[in-house]
Amino acid sequence: MTTYAFRRKVALSLVITVLLMLASGGLFTPPLFAADASATTEAGGNSQLMWVCLSAAIAFSIGALSAGIAISNVGSAAMGAISEKPEIASQALIFIALAEGLVVFGFITALMILGKA
């Protein structure tokens, strides 16, 4: 594959990813912002449900993105080490599982935020 064809495929995949993100944002965010106007508390005032849901989504997404970055770095190093010394495969998988724990922390944080609402 030539360099031009590779760059073209990468650019096309980035454009498709951005378009899918914009489409899903347009599809899923209007109900989130509508929740603030329709949800009321027992006292009759407006609820902050929109901001609670948004902060929980941010907490989970940051955990998932950081886990993806960590797994990409740890996984590539682990595969390189395993190719040189196959007997350390189990130890390398432990490090990959530790990086996966970041998603769990983000999920627990999101649940704690939603529990306060």
Measured distance CA(115)–CA(117) in Å, rounded: 6
Q: Is 57 found in the same domain as 39?
A: no
- The string of pLDDT tens digits covering residues 66-83 is 999 999 999 999 999 999
pLDDT digits (tens, 9 = 90+) for 84-102: 999 999 999 999 999 888 8
Q: What DSSP letter does each residue of 5-29 carry, written as one string? A: HHHHHHHHHHHHHHHHHHHHHHHHH
Question: What total number of domains does the chain contain?
Answer: 2
Residues 55 and 41 in one domain: no
Rounded Cα distance between 40 and 47, Å, is 5
For residue 72, what is the domain's CATH number?
A: 1.20.20.10
In this structure, are 52 and 42 located in the same domain?
A: no
d(CA 75, CA 30) in angstroms, rounded, equals: 38
The verdict on 104 and 61 lying in the same domain is yes
Contact status, residue 59 vs residue 113, Cβ threshold 8 Å: yes
**39 and 62 share one domain:** no
Helices 89-115, 49-84: inter-axial angle, 10-degree rounding: 180
One domain, residues 63 and 107: yes
| Boundaries of domain holding 114 | 48-117
